[in-house]
Amino acid sequence: MILSIATITALVILLVFHSSSSAIAGQPCSPPSASMEVMLKADPQIKNTIHRVCFNCHSDQPKYPWYASIWPSSLLIQHDRQKALARLNFSQWDRLSPEMSRIRLLDACTMMTEGKMPLWYYRPFHFEARLSSQEIQHFCAWAHLQ
Ligand code: HEC
């Protein structure tokens, strides 16, 4: 009994270490000046909204929950982040032309308005990722002015 508990504990520790090192490895780090909010001088509310709701998938500064380093959530998170970053990375706004910047912001507005982002299966685990209609309206109004 004691032996099996020790074995399981050791396995869990191994898994956590193994997957957390692979989750952190290869994490690009962009200078703050390249981020959307700095480049476009976004107001504090816009900044707060995207940090709270979108940054775990669409930025170089995710705030991982504890289970992010444990298989299988580590795999799912990495998979989502890869796909999400290919579409939109708020930390690398300097790579976008002014035209693309506008398109991405309007896309973001559409995704929020239609309730497609953040992803539905992410929301039950992240109470902080709820968007109020006021927040969505504010983001969209601002996006249309860019
Ligand atoms: C749990 C991870 C996650 C969160 C949180 C998240 N997204 Fe996404 N997002 C994705 C993934 C994955 C894709 C790629 C979907 C695909 O390829 O089918 C994506 C795609 C997008 C796209 C591109 C859509 C397209 O069709 O080109 C936009 C725009 C977007 N997200 C905006 C946002 C905004 C704005 C937020 C915050 C309100 C947000 N996302 C939060 C995972 C996330």
* pLDDT tens per residue across span 16-45: 555 444 444 445 678 999 999 999 999 999
Cα of 118 vs centre of ligand 1, distance in Å, is 6
- Give first-to-last CA distance, the chain, whole Å: 64
Report the pocket of ligand 1 as residue ranges, CB < 6 Å.
53-54, 56-58, 80, 83-84, 87-88, 107-108, 111-112, 117-119, 122
Cα of 112 vs centre of ligand 1, distance in Å, is 9
Say if residue 100's pLDDT is above 80: yes
The first and second tokens of residue 107, run together, are 């896309």
Note the helical H segments in 54-122: 55-58, 73-87, 98-113
- Per the prediction, the chain carries an average pLDDT of 87
Which residue, judged by its Cα, is nearest atom 40 of ligand 1? 117
Mind listing the pLDDT tens digit for each residue in 58-80?
999 998 888 888 999 899 999 99
Q: Concatenated DSSP letters for 6-69?
A: HHHHHHHHHHHHHHHHHHHTT-----GGGSHHHHTT--HHHHHHHHHHTHHHHSS-----GGGG
Cα of 25 vs centre of ligand 1, distance in Å, is 22
The first and second tokens of residue 103, run together, are 């398109």
Cα separation, 53 vs 56, whole angstroms: 8
**Substitution site in 37, 77, 87, 96 for ligand 1 pocket (most atoms within 8 Å of beta carbon):** 87
Task: Show the domain range for 123.
Answer: 2-145
Cα of 22 vs centre of ligand 1, distance in Å, is 23
Let me know: does 115 contact 129? Beta carbons within 8 Å: no
Burial of 56-74, coded b for 16+ CB within 10 Å and e otherwise, reads bbbbbebeeeeebbbeebb
Let me know: does 49 contact 133? Beta carbons within 8 Å: no
Domain count, the chain: 1
pTM of the model: 0.85
What is the mean predicted confidence (pLDDT) over 108-122?
96
**Residue that the structure tokens 């896309």 belong to:** 107
